Structure formats: structure tokens, C-alpha cells
């Protein structure tokens, strides 16, 4: 329950410059502290870098709601229904445009999570209690969303199983009415068929309306196959003594929040399960995607926190680290090492082509995309086509297809252009991905790149900022966001995100240097841009162009020409092998310059022109 001061300042005072927004935040914190003193509470803790809430002095209705849905009894559903009084933070929408965007995403995330939690208890229509528990669960869901088709289906099937055909038909009419009113839509044919079909099918066999996933797919799903299962992590916390210091709680919360932001895991809080006063770790036996336990233990004597990650498939301890926060610059940096270690371990295991689970196939696609060559992208597209057939609402499929097609347009046009997509088609894929799952950072990032290509720089900037907010612990996400912001013209934010990304990596991946060079180029620090792009793997014509442009703008035209002559043969082959030669120099020159700010675009054009002349013009005339 912590956030950097800069994040809060940008969220609540986005239209002010950084100095004024930080000043406003300090003033607000002073006023809040006065209010706390009057009320006799001490909830908000502020340090020089962060603001956090003291969880021991502060209980939210959302945490209580999660605990109730974890139990899933009839009495719990009824209490949850009483507790639900509308959308998250109703009435606070107009604080600030940035806050409003954040709030929209949080509301969707919360709704998706509580819907998924409730539906887990309704997978089988039980009538041994007269249908009381199932009906209470469905009524809770309809309280949160009267047009939720999945909840109406649960009730239709329950009433039919109880022999109450008339009530089932009334429920179908209620479903019709609410969907027309709220969605301007009609129930699916499968919903109507429930009135006459078999009565023993489980909720798993229902058709559209479930919001089962939440993490990887999102959106309204058309069948059970569209629910994407994820690796499961159960979180267990313990302490040698109580109360646990705020730093230990904050580290745990930062790690759990970071894992959640990857949207690659189903997370379970052990304390939410079991009988009153009893902590029972759950999900010790998982599925082919992996089941893990993440344990936190604070030692009062040493002041250190033990973090242990276990693979439940074989009982193995993957790692056990002792965290001393005094050795880290920030809490976020300390947490990010554990977060990324867990993420890499869990997803690397799924990159084995022998694993055909949907999310495993996605991990295989992501690995292929990082290889950045036409052969790997061809394999990735084949997997994506198969995933789309099996899971028509898996949002990441459409974002990935868009990015691969963008790559082909920019870097290595495919032989048969008819098989690829034009920019309008790519943008449509991104819009579909965001519509299905707006809180997935990969989707927002892909949308940002499509908007850059479509010359909509302000819309692109908003998409990149959103992607950065959704996951601020993944260095790859942050660096891609930073480069996108640089192309959009927001250089200050680009440098901030890039610096954060670089601080979170243990070793810097080579592609990061090319991203970083474009950021420094936008900032007109041409010497640094040239130095960073020199560290890349030199397989990208765009990277070569950035280096040449940086040297020219730094007043080193002779050195720029020497770079072309030194690497000319290598890039001549790349141009021939990727089809850029057939595409023609003018088309390549038009697409390679992604900078939207006029001055940066003009500076980059200097490098584009020299590269174009060297490879497509009279090379001898340049000497």
C-alpha cells in the first residue's frame, strides 16, 4: 500500500509542472495529517520518497469483500451484496484527468476480480441446500452488474434443476430486459437454449457472459475455453513477533502488487481461506502451468525479511533470499528483484513447446517475438492463429499480431505483402485488444505503437503512460514505454521511465541500449545517444540510422560515414535478406522516422538521408 511521491503528484495534479505538483502533494499531506490528529488515527505514513498506508490501522471494504468471496458461503454472498454500494470510489471521477483514467482501469480490474472470485464457487449447481448458496452468489453478481449474462444463466439453471420452470423463464426475461437496458444487446442463443436443454451441465459449460479471466484475456467471453488459466501463487505471511513493522508489510505488498501487475499469475492470499482464525495455504497442488508458494517471514531481531519461493510440483525451494532494506536505495528497487526473478522462472518453464496450455503458448510467442527475425515471427503468428481459434477473446493474441505486423512493415517486409496487414488493420487489432482487456500493459503498449505509426502522438502518449502505470516493475515494459514517450514528444517522462527501467535490471539486455539511444536523441543529447546505440547487437537498420543521425547532429559527419563504410557489407546483406531493397528507399525513409516532435524529426531525417544515399544512391559521391 505504497506509492512514490512523484506518481501521486502526477496522478492528482497532471496539468501542473513537477515542482508545483510536488508542492501541492506536500500541502495535501500536511492537511491530511491535521485531519488524522483531529480524528485520533494515524494511517498515512510519508517518507522523502514514498507515501504509504499503515495496513494495521486501516481496513478497506474491498479487502473484507475479498475475504467474503474467498469463503463463498450463502451468508458470505449476502454480506458481500450488502457491502457493495456501487463502483469503486464513486464521486471522485473529476479530481484530475490522469486520476480519472487510472480510476477507470481500477474499476474494471476490481469488477473482473470479484466476478471471477464469485464464479469459482458457482461452477457446480448445488441443490443439497435448496439452492441457497448458488442463488445468493448469483444475486450478488447481479447486484454488481444487472446485465451480467453469466449470473442470469446460473439462476436459470438453478431454477430448472429445482424444477421451477416458471422462475427460470422469468429469469430469462429479466436477463433480456437488463441486457437491452444496459448493453443494448440480446442474450446469446445458448442462454435461451438453457430453458429447454439438459439441467445437469456445470457453469464451466456455459456460453458467453463469463468474465473468467481476468488476468490474461479479459472482456466478455464466448465460451469456457476462452478462460485462460495462469500459474498459481499462494502467498503466506508470518512473523516471529507482532506487530510486524511497516517496512516488512510494505515489501510484501510491493512484491504482491508487482506480481499482480504482470497479469501472468493467479494470486491467492492464504489468510483469506480456511476457518475463522486459521491460516491455510491453498493450491498446493496445481496444474500444468505451475503452482507455487511465496512465503514472507520477518525477523524482529535482525530486522530482515526472508522471502522464499517454492515450486509445489516437486516441493523444491526455487530461492530463499534474506532482504535487508538498508542495502537498497528504495523499497521498489528491492521488491523488483524478487518480482522479476519469480516472473522469469515461472514463464521460462512455460516456453517449452511441449506445453500446449493457452498461457504457455503465449509465453512461447513472447519469447519468439524477442528474437526479432522473420523466421521467429512466422512461428509466432502460427501459434497466435491457433490460439485465436481456441480462445477467441484472448486479448494478447490481437496485440501480438499487431506488433508482428508492425515489425514487418518497418523492418523486414514479408515476401507476400498480401499476407500482411496495412496500418488500419493493425490499429484495429490493437483497439480490439484494448477493448477486451484495457488493464493489460502489453495491449496498451501495442496500441501506443500503432498510434505512433498513425501519427496520433497525443493518443499514443496517453496509451504509453497507461502501460507504464499498469506495470511499473517490469523493466521491459518501462523501457518500451519510455521509447514510445520519446517518439511521442514527452522527453521528460521518457527519461524518467528509462532511468527506472535501467535501475531495475540486474544485467542490461542489448535491445535496451537502442531504446535508450532514441530517448537521448529526442533529448538532443546526441553524443550519449551515439554511445548507447553503439552497444546494441547491430542487426537493425533503424539502430544504424539512429547512430548515424546522432553522429551527424553531434557534428561528427566524417565519423558517421566511417560507421557506414565499416558496417556497409553487413547491412547490405540485411537489406537484401529482409526485402527492404524491393520496398524502395522512399517508402523505407517515410516509415523509419518515428519521431513526432518536429525538431527531433528534422534531426533524425539527417541520418535517414545519409543512410538512404549510402545504400540506395551514389555511394562514391559521398567520399
**450/429 Cα distance (integer angstroms):** 9
- pLDDT attached to residue 581: 56
Reported as type and span, the H/E element at residue 293 is: strand 291-299
Q: Model confidence at 234, in pLDDT bands (50, 70, 90)?
A: confident
Assess whether pLDDT exceeds 90 at residue 218: no
Q: Are strands 232-239 and 291-299 parallel, antiparallel or unpaired?
A: parallel
Q: 469 or 542, which is more confident?
A: 469
User: Considering only CA atoms, which of 158, 196, 154, 161 is closest in space to residue 175?
Assistant: 154
Task: Count Cα neighbours of 593 within 13 Å in the Cβ-side half-sphere.
Answer: 22
Q: Residue 579: pLDDT above 90? A: no
Name the helix (H) or strand (E) containing 504. helix 491-504
3-state secondary structure of 472: coil
Cα–Cα dist 20/3, whole Å: 19
Worst-scoring range by mean pLDDT, 3-17, 85-99, 275-289, 387-401?
Answer: 275-289
Residue 583: its pLDDT value, please? Answer: 62
Q: Give residues with Cβ within 8 angstroms of 620, minimum separation 6.
A: none
Q: What is the mean pLDDT of residues 381-387?
A: 92
End-to-end Cα separation, the chain, in angstroms: 61
Query: Cβ distance 462 to 98 under 8 Å?
Result: no
Report yes or no: 201 and 141 within 8 Å, Cβ to Cβ. Answer: no
* 216 within 8 A of 396, measured Cβ to Cβ: yes
β-strand 232-239 against 266-269: which pairing, if any?
parallel
In this prediction, residues 609-623 reach a mean pLDDT of 78
pLDDT in tens, 93-105: 888 888 888 888 8
| pLDDT confidence of residue 242 | 57
Residues in contact with 360: Cβ distance below 8 Å, sequence separation at least 6, in sequence order: 288, 289, 350, 351, 352
Quote the CA–CA distance of 52 and 249 in Å, as a whole number: 11
Cα 409 versus chain centre, distance:
25
Cell of 260: 499482480
Residue matched to cell numbers 488493464 = 439
Cα–Cα distance, 76 to 516 (Å, whole number): 51
pLDDT at residue number 106: 85
Question: Which pLDDT belongs to residue 596?
Answer: 93
What pLDDT, on a 0 to 100 scale, did the predictor assign at position 239?
57
State the pLDDT at residue 224: 39
| Bond prior to 243 in cis (omega within 30° of 0) | yes
Q: What pLDDT, on a 0 to 100 scale, did the predictor assign at position 605?
A: 94
Q: Report DSSP letters for 6-66, one per residue.
A: HHHHHHH-TTS-HHHHHHHHHHHHHHHHHHHHHHT---EEE-SSEEEE-GGG---HHHHHH
CB 398 within 8 A of CB 436: yes
- Average pLDDT, rounded, for the chain: 83
**Cβ neighbourhood burial of 485 (10 Å; 0-12, 13-18, 19+):** buried
Residue with cell 508542492: 23
What would the DSSP string read from start to end of 199-241?
A: S---GGG-BTT----TTSS-S--SBGGG-----EEEEEEEESS
pLDDT of residue 542 exceeding 60, the answer is yes
Question: Does the structure show a pLDDT above 60 at 209?
Answer: no
Strand partners of residue 266: 232
With cell 539512429, the residue in question is 546
Cα distance between residue 309 and residue 419, in whole Å: 45
CA separation for the pair 594, 592 (Å, rounded) = 6
Torsional class of 303: left (φ above 0), alpha (ψ -120 to 50), beta (otherwise): left
Residue 597 reports pLDDT greater than 90: yes
How deeply is 573 buried, as exposed, middle or buried, from its count of CB atoms within 10 A (0-12, 13-18, 19+)? exposed
Of 173, 168, 105, residue with least CA distance to 135 = 168
Taking alpha carbons only, the member of 54, 34, 32 closest to residue 43 is 54
The answer for 145, left when phi > 0, alpha when psi is -120 to 50, beta otherwise, is: beta
pLDDT bin (cut points 50, 70, 90) of residue 221 is very low
Task: Report all structural domains of the chain as residue ranges with CATH numbers, in order of start.
Answer: 2-55 (no CATH), 61-211 (1.25.40), 232-324 (3.40.50.11830), 491-623 (no CATH)
**pLDDT in the model for residue 500:** 92
Residue 588 has pLDDT above 90, yes or no: no
* Residue closest to 530 by CA, chosen among 511, 554, 507: 554
pLDDT tens digits for range 41-72? 888 988 878 898 887 777 788 888 988 998 99
HSE-CB for 164 with a 13 A CA cutoff: 14
The closest alpha carbon to 518, from 557, 474, 488, 561, belongs to 488
Confidence check: pLDDT of 112 > 90 = no
Residues 6+ apart with CB under 8 A from 253: 1, 2, 55
pLDDT at 223 over 90: no
Residue 617 makes CB contacts below 8 A (sequence gap 6+) with 585
Mean pLDDT over 386-402 rounds to: 91
CA-to-CA separations, 399 to 264, 395, 434, 450, in angstroms, rounded: 16, 7, 8, 10
Q: What is the pTM of this model?
A: 0.64
**What three-state secondary structure class fits 294?**
strand
Structure confidence by residue, pLDDT tens digits, 469-518: 999 999 999 999 999 999 999 999 999 999 999 988 888 888 889 899 99
| Residue (of 458, 434, 457) closest to 447 by Cα position | 434
Between β-strands 304-311 and 266-269, what pairing exists: parallel, antiparallel or unpaired? unpaired
Query: Of the candidates 187, 182, 229, 228, which has an alpha carbon nearest to the alpha carbon of residue 208?
Result: 187
Tens of pLDDT, residue by residue over 236-247, are 877 545 555 677
Q: Over 90: is that where the pLDDT of 140 sits? A: yes
The string of pLDDT tens digits covering residues 262-308 is 989 888 875 533 344 444 444 445 567 888 989 988 877 777 889 99
| pLDDT at 77 (0 to 100) | 93
- Could you tell me the pLDDT band of residue 523, with boundaries at 50, 70 and 90? very high
Q: How confident is the model at residue 392 (pLDDT cuts 50, 70, 90)?
A: confident
Q: How confident is the model at residue 572 (pLDDT cuts 50, 70, 90)?
A: confident
Give the integer Cα–Cα distance in Å for 227 and 606.
Answer: 50
Residue 159 has pLDDT above 80, yes or no: yes
Q: How confident is the model at residue 136 (pLDDT cuts 50, 70, 90)?
A: very high
Amino acid at each position: 500500500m505504497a506509492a512514490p511521491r512523484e506518481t501521486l503528484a502526477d496522478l492528482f495534479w497532471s496539468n501542473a509542472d513537477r515542482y508545483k505538483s510536488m508542492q501541492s502533494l506536500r500541502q495535501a499531506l500536511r492537511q491530511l495529517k491535521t485531519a488524522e490528529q483531529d480524528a485520533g488515527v494515524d494511517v498515512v505514513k510519508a517518507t522523502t520518497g514514498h507515501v504509504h498506508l499503515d495496513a494495521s490501522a486501516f481496513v478497506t471494504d474491498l479487502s473484507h469483500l475479498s475475504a467474503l468471496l474467498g469463503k463463498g458461503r450463502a451468508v458470505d454472498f449476502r454480506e458481500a451484496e450488502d457491502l457493495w454500494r456501487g463502483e469503486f470510489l464513486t464521486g471522485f471521477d473529476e479530481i484530475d484527468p490522469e486520476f480519472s483514467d487510472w480510476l477507470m482501469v481500477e474499476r474494471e480490474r476490481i469488477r473482473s476480480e470479484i466476478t471471477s472470485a464469485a464464479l469459482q464457487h458457482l461452477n457446480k449447481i448445488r441443490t443439497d441446500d435448496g439452492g441457497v448458496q448458488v442463488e445468493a452468489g448469483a444475486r450478488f453478481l447481479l447486484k454488481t452488474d444487472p446485465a451480467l449474462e453469466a449470473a442470469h444463466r446460473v439462476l436459470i439453471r438453478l431454477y430448472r434443476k429445482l424444477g421451477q420452470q416458471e422462475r427460470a423463464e422469468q429469469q430469462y426475461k429479466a436477463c433480456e430486459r437488463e441486457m437491452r437496458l444496459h448493453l443494448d444487446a440480446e442474450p446469446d442463443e445458448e442462454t435461451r437454449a438453457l430453458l429447454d436443454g439438459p439441467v445437469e451441465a456445470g457453469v464451466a459449460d456455459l456460453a458467453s457472459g463469463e468474465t473468467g479471466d481476468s488476468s490474461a484475456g479479459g472482456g466478455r467471453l464466448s465460451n469456457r475455453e476462452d478462460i485462460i488459466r495462469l500459474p498459481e501463487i499462494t502467498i503466506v505471511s508470518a512473523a516471529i513477533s507482532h506487530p510486524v513493522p511497516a517496512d516488512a508489510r510494505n515489501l510484501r505488498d510491493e512484491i504482491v502488487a508487482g506480481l499482480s501487475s504482470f497479469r501472468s499469475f493467479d494470486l491467492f492470499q492464504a489468510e483469506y481461506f480456511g476457518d475463522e482464525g486459521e491460516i491455510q495455504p491453498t493450491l498446493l497442488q496445481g496444474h500444468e502451468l505451475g503452482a507455487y508458494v511465496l512465503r514472507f517471514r520477518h525477523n524482529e531481531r535482525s530486522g530482515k525479511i526472508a522471502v522464499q519461493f517454492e515450486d509445489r510440483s516437486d516441493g523444491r525451494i526455487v530461492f530463499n533470499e534474506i532482504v535487508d532494506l538498508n542495502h537498497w536505495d528504495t523499497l521498489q528497487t528491492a521488491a523488483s528483484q524478487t518480482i522479476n526473478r519469480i516472473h522469469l522462472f515461472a514463464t521460462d518453464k512455460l516456453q517449452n513447446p511441449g506445453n500446449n496450455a493457452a498461457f504457455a503458448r503465449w509465453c512461447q510467442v513472447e519469447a519468439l517475438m524477442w528474437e526479432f527475425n522473420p523466421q521467429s515471427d512466422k512461428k509466432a503468428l502460427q501459434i497466435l492463429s491457433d490460439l485465436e481459434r481456441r480462445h477467441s477473446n484472448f486479448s494478447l493474441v490481437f496485440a501480438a499480431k499487431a506488433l508482428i505486423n508492425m515489425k514487418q512493415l518497418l523492418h523486414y517486409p514479408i515476401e507476400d505483402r498480401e499476407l500482411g496487414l496495412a496500418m488500419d488493420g493493425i490499429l484495429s487489432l490493437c483497439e480490439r485488444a484494448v477493448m477486451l482487456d484495457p488493464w493489460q500493459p502489453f495491449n496498451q503498449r501495442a496500441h501506443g505503437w500503432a498510434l505512433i505509426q498513425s501519427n496520433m502522438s497525443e493518443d499514443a502518449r496517453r496509451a504509453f503512460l497507461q502501460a507504464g502505470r499498469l506495470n511499473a516493475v517490469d523493466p521491459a515494459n518501462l523501457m518500451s514505454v519510455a521509447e514510445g514517450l520519446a517518439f511521442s514528444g514527452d522527453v521528460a517522462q521518457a527519461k524518467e521511465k528509462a532511468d527506472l527501467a535501467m535501475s531495475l535490471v540486474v544485467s542490461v539486455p542489448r535491445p535496451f541500449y537502442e531504446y535508450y539511444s532514441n530517448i537521448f536523441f529526442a533529448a538532443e543529447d546526441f553524443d550519449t545517444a551515439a554511445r548507447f546505440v553503439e552497444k546494441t547487437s547491430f542487426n537493425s537498420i533503424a539502430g544504424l540510422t539512429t547512430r548515424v543521425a546522432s553522429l551527424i547532429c553531434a557534428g561528427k559527419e566524417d565519423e558517421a560515414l566511417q560507421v557506414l563504410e565499416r558496417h556497409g557489407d553487413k547491412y547490405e546483406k540485411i537489406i537484401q535478406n529482409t526485402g527492404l531493397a524491393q520496398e524502395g528507399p522512399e517508402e523505407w525513409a517515410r516509415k523509419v522516422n518515428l519521431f513526432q516532435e518536429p525538431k527531433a524529426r528534422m534531426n533524425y531525417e539527417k541520418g535517414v538521408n545519409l543512410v538512404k544515399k549510402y545504400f540506395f544512391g551514389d555511394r562514391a559521391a559521398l567520399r
